[in-house]
Structure 1
Amino acid sequence: MSSSAKRPITVALVDDYDVVVMGVANMFDNYRDRIVVAELDATMGVSDDVDVVLYDSFAQPESDHHEIGVLVANPHARRVVVYTWNFHPDLIESAKRHGAHGYLSKTLPARDLVAALEAVHAGELVVSDAPARTRTAVGLDWPGRGEGLSDRESEILALITQGKSNAEVAALTYLSPNTVKSYIRTIYRKIDVDSRTKAVLWGVKHGFTPDHNRIEHWKGGP
């Protein structure tokens, strides 16, 4: 076994929601001998090179992969992996074109996620199989989880809180307009609101406003 294989790989988690980053980091707690997490926040970034950047796409415009290209171009990031529930073929191909080294599902158990990141670190291009059905990875966290929102519902509410229309949400997430409307009806029921304005106000109050400093920091380099 080579010396590089003996040491844990270093992973930077990139998202502009603190609770999301913490949720992903918690998944790696039992794998500290294989994964060392370098968390990013608004005030302190990664000062050393990292083996893999895990880019969580929570509430990001998934049809715009500019952020992926920025991370790929960052000299401190040896590999870049997208971490998402959205497996539309066009999104996968776009991520590849922008230089992503992996496209991993949020439904992966922690052990499989760790193994996939190790494979990416070893030089493989890893793309998860598309999830057969909606399922949430154990250990993840996201805004609104405590109030009963699923991860997908939270992502849609986050986009609404950012001012996106139903049509924009549908385009960004590659969902049909009718599916988006169905999600929104469920969200309204779960958070006990009856209008979009009230939903936005609820979202702002409950942590659905992103901290863009996290990814802006990576644009400038650690």
Structure 2
Amino acid sequence: MSPPENGPITVALVDDYDVVVMGVANMFDRYRDRVVVAELDATMGVKDPVDIVLYDSFAQPESDHHEIGILVANPCARRVVVYTWNFHPDLIASAKERGAHGYLSKTLPARDLVAALEAVHAGETVISDPPARTRSAVGLDWPGRGEGLSDRESEILALITQGKSNADVARLTYLSPNTVKSYIRTIYRKIDVGSRTQAVLWGVRHGFTPDHHRIEHWKGGP
């Protein structure tokens, strides 16, 4: 697909974790003739007009799409797209009801993600096929990746670090309580801890608490 006629699409990346939005931004580096990251934001406060806001749902309470509604209502955001691994039908329906223009999988290769954003920019509503949980998109990053945690394990540990109970994690992620327990056992083994308190302390030391501040001076800005 060729670059848009009026220049590259401008995109704002929104998440509460610096490392997550930086990882997504790095995926777009080789496609800067088609997509320009105009803003990185660790809050909901997108301040400059952009073609698309890409809302990465890392460790967010995904059953509550209030954040999506705020972004859709923001006059600076021409279109809003959710970027996630969680494809529960209720979450997709909720995002669409709140006005999201796309619901895209984190397993998409960069070229397919760019093509999907171009389709959204052209006026389409794009919903990815539910992903097979066998891989993550090349170039993505997340807290704990260097310590061997998968993206989903990291999201669960981030929720635990925020003080969520197992029942909260199951509700927010649409996983069964037994599946959550299984993930937590694996997380404990990987980070070499024996209790929830130790896991929370490990999470705090390793970037699993949200960064509630704007990310300034992004090198990819227009």
Between 1:30-39 and 1:105-114, the stretch displaced more is 30-39
**Deviation of the 1:59 alpha carbon:** 0.1
In the other structure, the counterpart of 1:131 is: 131
Point out 4+ residue stretches in structure 1 off by more than 4 angstroms.
Answer: none
8 Å contact 2:11–2:53 — kept in the other structure? yes
1:63 pairs with 2:59: no
In the other structure, the counterpart of 2:195 is: 195
Tell me the distance in 2 between the aligned counterparts of 1:214 and 1:119: 28
5+ residue gaps, structure 2: 216-222
**Deviation of the 1:211 alpha carbon:** 1.7
Structure 1 residues 42, 123: closer, same or farther in 2, change over 3 A?
closer
**Deviation of the 1:4 alpha carbon:** 5.8
Counterpart secondary structure, 2:140 = coil
5+ residue gaps, structure 1: 216-222
Of Structure 1 and Structure 2, which has the larger fraction of its residues in helix? Answer: 1
Pairwise CA RMSD:
1.7
TM-score (norm 1): 0.92
Tell me the distance in 1 between the aligned counterparts of 2:63 and 2:48: 30
Tell me the distance in 2 between the aligned counterparts of 1:213 and 1:48: 16
Tell me the distance in 2 between the aligned counterparts of 1:78 and 1:50: 6
Report Cα offsets for 1:169-222 as digits up to 9, x if no partner. 00000000000000000000000000000000000000001023459xxxxxxx
Structure 1 residues 4, 134: closer, same or farther in 2, change over 3 A?
closer
1:154 pairs with 2:178: no
TM-score (norm 2): 0.92
Aligned pair count? Answer: 212
Counterpart secondary structure, 2:82 = strand
Q: Percent identity?
A: 88
Counterpart secondary structure, 2:5 = helix
In the other structure, the counterpart of 1:22 is: 22
Tell me the distance in 2 between the aligned counterparts of 1:42 and 1:56: 10
Tell me the distance in 2 between the aligned counterparts of 1:41 and 1:120: 21
1:116 pairs with 2:150: no
